[in-house]
Amino acid sequence: MNYLRTAMLLAGLTALFMGVGYLIGGAAGAMIALVIAAATNLFTYWNSDRMVLRMYGAHEVDRASAPELVGLVAELAGRAGLPMPRVFVMDEAQPNAFATGRNPENAAVAVTVGLMNQLSREELAGVIAHELAHIKHHDTLLMTVTATIAGAISMLAQFGMFFGGNRGNNGPGVVGSILMMILAPIGAMLVQMAISRTREYAADNLGARIAGQPMWLASALVKIEGAAHQVPNYDAERNPATAHMFIINPLSGHGVDNLFATHPSTQNRIAALQQLAAELGAQAPSVGANENYPPRSPWGQSSSRGPSPGPSRGPWG
């Protein structure tokens, strides 16, 4: 089903790509756009993960350079029944994270320095488990391919604004070019959003089960949501087509479910996690930014470190 969904998404974005090409150059423009789209799809399938990681300046870490982080990822990947993904760190103050890769065998998890500094070990486990759930669901291919092609559509629409304004050359005219420049990126954005919210809920659910405690992720979401309103992510602002890849929208941290939200409402996600905690028989207190849940590690034993005593810095920085 995931591969079918990916194929349908690629087909829809390719059709939009061709439509913009047709508006710019007629039938010839549509064919050129088809060739470009096919090449982009193929290139993206093999290289989109590296492109996104490079876009955010992420650097790979290992057990020698980040033993606790890599060890945590390895433990959770084992619980999820996944191969060990590569682990990357972004030199970014905003706490956030994403996963990428065309399949579980070629996956990567990237976290920001801000995430490691501001979250407790338990909360970080919840976030990483969420990203591993995306890998297990094969969402990572969908996210990276969507981000790359949506960005390409936006660039093609802007190209059409400069070269498609002459109706004598089968262009859409000035008014049509302006509409194309506005509507084509919106169309690509809506395709991204069509799957984003259900994908996030599914990853929250499976990630909470992988970590063993839904409230760890719920507490982490509160902290990340609050920081997203206060700490700008300039790389994300320059590349808004990738915003849907992060666990929380890095651009504005929307708090309401609406047509143009890249993520579900954080409060709705927390409510779903609280319901899951109740179903699993776990303690589900109300979530606050200064609380940590619960007093056991993600591997079912008492945590020797215990919850972080302070609300701002975790055990990593």
Please say if 131 is a catalytic residue. Answer: yes
Alpha-carbon gap, residue 135 to 202, rounded angstroms: 12
Among 172, 107, 111, smallest CA distance to 143 is for 107
Distance, CA of 220 to CA of 83 (rounded, Å): 25
Is residue 97 within 8 Å of residue 110, measured between CB atoms? yes
Contact 123, 219 (CB under 8 A): yes
Asked if 144 and 245 count as a contact pair (C-beta separation under 8 A), the reply is yes
First to last CA, the chain: 40
Gap between the Cα atoms of 290 and 274, Å rounded: 17
For residue 91, give the nearest of 125, 116, 69, 128 by alpha carbon: 116
Distances (CA, A) of 197 to 54, 105, 114, 263, 291: 26, 25, 24, 5, 26
The CA distance from 75 to 71, in Å, is: 6
Strand order in the sheet with 86-90: 59-61, 86-90, 107-112, 97-101
Say how far apart CA 31 and CA 247 lie, in whole Å. 37
3-state secondary structure of 95: coil
One-letter identity of residue 166: N
Q: Which of 92, 122, 123, 131 is catalytic?
A: 131
Maximum separation of any 2 CA atoms in the chain, in Å: 74
Count of alpha carbons within 13 angstroms of residue 164, beta-carbon side: 25
Residues catalogued as catalytic: 131
